[in-house]
Amino acid sequence: MIPAIGLAIGIVVGLLLQPAVPVWLQPYLPIAVIAALDAVFGAVRAILDGIFSDKVFVVSFLSNVVVAAFIVFLGDKLGVGSQLSTGVVVVLGVRIFSNVASIRRHLFDA
């Protein structure tokens, strides 16, 4: 329940304060959000499987965001930023949908 309350508070604060994202950071924000969502859905799956570890979640969350941002940064420097961004989105999207499918099977015994 605490994570849900934290999420709700974060959304409300974000909507009220409307923070501006610096221009240099804008290409990395969507990728970082997708990487963070991958870690969150992985954590939910681990909780339902009974193997959740808070240390693993924190490391997964931070490493997903850093590695995804680094790949996009490297792509920008090589001149292929949009292609690598698409690759990161596809890979993380597949992982997210795989975790959601596992969560659905666990919750609905399907």
Q: Model confidence at 67, in pLDDT bands (50, 70, 90)?
A: very high
pLDDT at position 27 is 85
Domain count, the chain: 1
Residue-range definition of the domain harbouring residue 34: 1-108
Residue 11 burial by CB count (10 A; 0-12/13-18/19+): exposed, middle or buried? exposed
* pLDDT, tens digit, 9 for 90 and up, residues 10-62: 899 999 999 898 998 888 888 988 998 999 999 999 999 999 998 999 999 99
Which among 104, 106, 92, 100 has a CA at the least distance from the CA of 38?
92
In terms of C-beta density within 10 A (0-12 exposed, 13-18 middle, 19 or more buried), how is residue 28 classed? buried
Q: Can you list the alpha helix ranges (DSSP code H) found in the chain?
A: 2-17, 29-49, 54-78, 81-108
Place of tokens 């309350």: 5
